[in-house]
Amino acid sequence: MCGIVGFAGTDPDLLERMCRSIVHRGPDGQGVQVGPHFSIGMRRLAIVDVATGDQPLYSADRNLALVFNGEIYNAPELRRVLEAKGHRFVTDHSDTEVILRGYEEWGHHVVDHLAGMFAFAITDARSGECFIARDRLGIKPLYYYAAPGVFVFGSELKAIFQDPRVPRQPDLDVVRRFLLFRLHDDTEATFFAGVERLLPGHTMLVRPDGVVWIRRYWDPEVNPEFSSRRSDAEYADEFAAVWDKVVARHLISDAPVGVPLSGGLDSTGVVTTMARMMESGTDLHTSGLYTFSALFPGQSIDESEYIHVVEQAVGSIPHYAYPQPDAFWSEIMEWVWYQEEPTIASAPYAYYSVYRLASEYVKVMVSGNGGDELLAGYIPYFRAYLSSAVAQRHYWAAAREVVQGFDLYKKFFAEAIRTRLPGRSGDVITARQLLTADAATAKHHFEANPNLNERLASDVLRYSTPDLLRYEDKNSMAFSIEARVPFLDHEMVEFIFSLPIDQKIKGGWNRYVYRNAMKGRMPEKNRLRRSKIGFTNPDTTWMRGRADWIREVFASPQLASRGLYDQPRLVAAWDEYLAGRPGDGLIFWRSLVTELWMRRYIDEAVAV
């Protein structure tokens, strides 16, 4: 696990600056290769094969050079396959070397054989090409800038901006879509004009004179059917088998492993499964099962009740972070620097606080991120469930769900109806009201798929999970921690995509198959909880506590110069919101964090 950088050309000073800008991703070492066509480098966080796993890694004739960020969970199996084919390994058990030997055997199709999270680059001195790949779900980031005579890539944006040829300008279309629709990370575009991300499940071939092609290598199938004839028990047993396999391989490490525990269904499943595996001999390289949680004593978002139940059930060694508004506001510019792009809410700060605490004890964290998007963990997915049931003529199932899940869905539907009543929509503050006429014309092409499984797949692959993974990567790597997400192991994802709709929602329960699979494996209080909170912050409360300073930001000449906002209307709407006018308070968060991001990454001379 580390960060990687590179560019077309030979400039040792630029390569050094790029590596230095991401030292937080890899404090354990640095490796560089200045080649005849491409220069590549990496910062290492030593997790597997600490003694012999340094990079770059070379082919026997030194024609190929590899830098890699991530973890290959099936490396032991692939190593045996490649050794049987005659490949000689020079490291003890480095998963990095498996990629290189696999590339020698399978070429660009090596990615089809890898199970894990990865972004890597392989340079070929003879052909003058550089092959770059990103894992199927995009767990590990890869950004690049390509223009005539310039190609630069890196694990973080700040590394790319060490090259003075790369402009630092906002992509205003991306900014407008974010402000209006909360959309980001759903396309190649970043918030910086001209700087793009290699999309998940894609590879890229580059020559010194430019990008040759970008290819998608993973396109999972999605089962659109509402139900099948197999029993719930059969699905639950199969889920449990895949889950155990996936979690087990996410525990491979030569460094200490812990888990962020929110008390929700997904993190509870990770913790209890890890506890069972430790009992059977799995070594986490710690004195026990370390859990790390964010607590908010006395507040409505506090999850202590559920967290303590899990801790007691597994006998974990708990550690607690207590995110505080004063600390958040005092370090917000540093936090923005680590995030690199605006965030949809301040909620990722809770994870940031947890990972900061965890860095004192472990180097690897196994997270429950992704379960909600895969298994319909959010209430709005109920609408797609009903549409699917009606479309496929399962009328009784639709009626049953309305009755059995009424306690969960009534608030959602009541709010949807309330905001659409004649005369009410004008009372609610909306993002469009706060922007200039030009900015407010931005459009998006998102249409919620009426089929639940296809809607979930689009959220996992494009609209929701990519930004969650961005937050996870930025928050964990800020403190030199490798974050692993077993729910988003591609084998787990493919299995869940293959399930019928009624294994996601059924009988008033979301995440239905997962709850069934976890019966007897986790505390019933957690397995059967009806609500969820997870890692978050009290966004609007914290913002109200800094109302005067936020008003100053909104009224500032810097914000006015962006040309995005109707500034008098923005300031007035903020005051109206504070006085009680209804609206989504996160509209103001998006405006605030976008302005702070511009100050840190656009206005300042060098973004390092």
- What pLDDT does 301 receive? 84
pLDDT for res 415 = 62
pLDDT greater than 60 at residue 423:
no
Work out the pLDDT band at 546, boundaries 50, 70, 90. Answer: very high
Predicted local distance difference test score (pLDDT) of residue 416: 63
- The pLDDT assigned to 93 comes to 82
Residue 429 pairs with which residues in a beta bridge?
583
- Per-residue model confidence as pLDDT tens digits over 432-476: 889 998 877 777 666 677 899 999 999 999 999 999 999 999 999
Quick one: how far is CA 44 from the chain centroid? Answer: 21
Q: Which residue has the tokens 């909620």?
A: 347
C-alpha 512/C-alpha 502 separation (Å) is 8
Note the pLDDT of residue 171.
96
The reported pLDDT for the residue numbered 428 is 82
Q: What pLDDT does 352 receive?
A: 96
Residue 418: pLDDT band (50, 70, 90) is: low
Note the pLDDT tens digit of each residue in 112-135: 999 999 999 999 999 999 999 999
Read off φ and ψ for residue 555, nearest 5 degrees: -90, 5
What integer is the mean pLDDT of 337-341?
97
Instruction: Render pLDDT for 191-228 as a digit per residue (tens, 0 to 9).
Output: 999 999 999 999 999 998 888 899 999 999 999 999 98
**pLDDT of 7 above 90:** yes
- Structure confidence at residue 70 (pLDDT): 94
Contact indicator for 8, 51 with CB cutoff of 8 Å: no
Q: Does position 424 have pLDDT exceeding 80, yes or no?
A: no
pLDDT in the model for residue 254: 85
Q: Do 2-216 and 232-376+465-527 fold alike per CATH? A: no
309-338 pLDDT, tens per residue? 999 999 999 999 999 999 999 999 999 999
Question: In the prediction, which pLDDT does 52 show?
Answer: 59
pLDDT in the model for residue 420: 59
Given the DSSP bridges, would you call strands 482-484 and 364-366 parallel, antiparallel or unpaired?
parallel
Residue tagged 């206005």 (tokens): 603
pTM exceeds 0.85:
yes
Give the pLDDT of residue 447.
Answer: 67
Fold exhibited by the domain 232-376+465-527: Rossmann fold (3.40.50)
Residue 93 one-letter amino acid: H
Which residue ranges make up each domain of the chain?
2-216, 232-376+465-527, 539-608
Tokens standing for residue 245:
């396999």
Are 121 and 129 within 8 A, CB to CB?
Answer: no
pLDDT confidence tier of residue 29, bands split at 50, 70 and 90? confident
Percent of the chain with pLDDT over 90: 79
Per-residue pLDDT at 536 exceeds 80 = no
pLDDT digits (tens, 9 = 90+) for 568-578: 999 999 999 99
Average pLDDT of the chain, as a whole number: 92
Q: Which residues, 6 or more positions from 24, have their beta carbon under 8 angstroms from its beta carbon?
A: 338, 477, 478, 479, 480
What number is the average pLDDT over the span 357-383? 94
Cis peptide before 27 (omega within 30 of 0): no
- What is the predicted pLDDT for the residue at 439? 75
Pick the CATH number of 2-216 from 3.40.50.1110, 3.90.550.10, 3.60.20.10, 3.80.10.10: 3.60.20.10
Distance CA 43, CA 558 (A): 36
- What average pLDDT does the segment 487-491 reach? 98
Residue 141: phi, psi to the nearest 5?
Answer: -85, 155
